Amino acid sequence: MEFALGLQDLLALLSGGAVGFTLALVGGGGSILAVPLLLYVVGVQNPHVAIGTSALAVSVNAFANLIAHSRAGNVKWPCAVVFGLSGVAGAFAGSTLGKLVDGEKLVFFFGLVMVAVALAMLRPRQTEGDPNVRINPAIAVRLVGIGLLTGLLAGFFGIGGGFLIVPGIMLGSGMAMLNAVGSSLFSVGAFGLTTASTYAYDGLVDWRIAAEFVAGGIVGGLAGIAAAKRLSTRKGALNRIFAGLVLAVAAYVLWRSSAAWT
């Protein structure tokens, strides 16, 4: 079978690379750019296809990063699994509801979520927490409740939801920030896979573009890791710059999709 690389394929690779680079460089939030990039750069016409394709790409990249964090001992598996599995139910419900909403209106709501992500990135992250936390019934109940709500939002908007999952796991379990980041990747992957599965069932995933997005993300992630090591002392400034970029893209998304309300 002959494979011809066209402009859209190249744009998908570059867009995936941009997302992977920013995720590795600033440690989160990059996946929120995937849907706008697919819509306005790659040229995916259907907003629901952009959301389904983005969810699949985010899921694959999250599971790839989860392996590295697990090897480093950063994943608290009992907490991660309880939070993730409860969130899968929420993600299934959220993605089912999302498909029922008009595509342009859904993108408008997505723009509002982007604003929330940018503002969350401007807040200083907690460094406290118990690195030796162990799950108990009280923690499990909190993780289930927070996981359901987080999964619902992640599924509805087709996002990884790391900006919600990390503080959610910390709130539910009291674990340290590094463990929350590592443990969150199980949920990001599980939520994304659930969302992508429901969209794929209705033929709303572009598999070729998803594969190209993932491939670009892997290369971009390697470049981002290298850059992060050199710019580690400027992490706060990088977060503020990236938050500003997300706000600018959010403004564009809201402007483009505002016609759905007129």
Establish if 75 belongs to a structural domain: yes
Total domains in the fold of the chain: 1
Residue 158 has pLDDT above 60, yes or no: yes
Q: What is the pLDDT of residues 224-253, one digit of tens each?
A: 777 766 776 676 776 677 778 888 888 888
98, β-bridge pairs: none
CB 19 within 8 A of CB 31: yes
Side chain identity at residue 141, one-letter code: V
**Does the residue 3 lie in any domain?**
no
pLDDT tens-digit map of 85-130:
999 999 999 999 999 998 888 888 888 888 887 887 777 765 567 8
Residues of the domain holding 112: 8-261
Q: What is the mean pLDDT of residues 156-164?
A: 78
Taking alpha carbons only, the member of 143, 239, 220, 145 closest to residue 186 is 143
CA-based nearest residue to 25, from 182, 190, 176, 241 = 241
Answer whether residue 129 is part of any domain.
yes
d(CA 213, CA 210): 5
Residue at 1 is within a domain: no
pTM over cut 0.85: no
